[in-house]
Each structure stands twice: as C-alpha cells, then as structure tokens.
C-alpha cells in the first residue's frame, strides 16, 4: 500500500484492500481507493503502476513464464463452454479484452488499459 499512500493517483481520502489466494494461483489484491474530488486520474499515471501486457520472452523470461502459465484467464469459450465464467455463450468477465493502443479513462472513470499487439510479447499461449 506504500505505492497508493505515496499519492501516485492523487490525494487519498481512504482505501480498502483484500488479498486473496485462489487454488494454486498467485496471491492478488482487490483494492478500492477513494480520491479527493479534485483528483484527475491521467492515463500516464495509470501506466506507471498498471501493465496489462505480457512482456516479451527475450526481455524477461521469468515474468513471461509466470504470466503465461499463471495469469491468463481461461480456457473458456469454444475451448471450454461449461467454464464457470460462461453466461449465454460469452465470458461474463468480458474476456478476451480488445487491443487498446493507449490507456484511456472512460466516462465512468473505469480505465481501459493499453493492450497493444506490438507490446504483447508476441506470445501464443496453449490453453
């Protein structure tokens, strides 16, 4: 939480987080931040702390391996139509996410993270 307390997204009013462990997966945190009203979240601030791209194997072999074996949602869709995430023939978690050339903050303040095919590590992942 040091990162959040440092003001990377603006001045915090309050914060809440919960760390979870799912089956054999890596721990992860769900975090909710309340920012002061004058906070303006900019895409470059988001890009400093959030990355939704798999690193190229040549750049970081270990991280590439962790992400491609532990951090990918699936299989679902036609590969596994009875997956728990499937509702009415679609993934209820909105995967796969579309490629996005740059991070944007939507009208609802929810970020659309940069997911560029050029930065995606050129990875094909066997499900």
Q: What pTM does this model have?
A: 0.67
What are the tens digits of pLDDT across the range 62-93? Answer: 998 988 887 788 888 888 888 888 999 888 98
Print the SS3 string covering 28-52.
EEEEEEEECCCCCCCHHHHHHHCCC
In this prediction, residue 28 carries a pLDDT of 87
Residue with the larger pLDDT of the pair 19 and 7: 19
Can you state the percent helix, strand and coil of the chain, rounding each to 5? 20, 25, 55
């Amino acid at each position: 939480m040091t990162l959040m307390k440092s003001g990377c997204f603006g001045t915090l009013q309050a914060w809440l987080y919960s760390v979870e462990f799912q089956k054999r997966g890596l721990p992860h945190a769900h975090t909710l931040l309340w920012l002061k009203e004058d906070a303006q979240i900019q895409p470059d601030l988001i890009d400093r702390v959030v990355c939704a791209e798999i690193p190229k194997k040549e750049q970081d072999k270990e991280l590439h391996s962790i992400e491609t074996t532990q951090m990918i949602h699936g299989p679902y869709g036609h590969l596994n139509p009875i997956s728990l995430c499937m509702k009415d023939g679609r993934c209820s978690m909105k995967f796969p996410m579309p490629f996005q050339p740059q991070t944007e903050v939507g009208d609802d303040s929810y970020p659309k993270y940069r997911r560029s095919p050029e930065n995606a590590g050129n990875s094909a992942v066997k499900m």
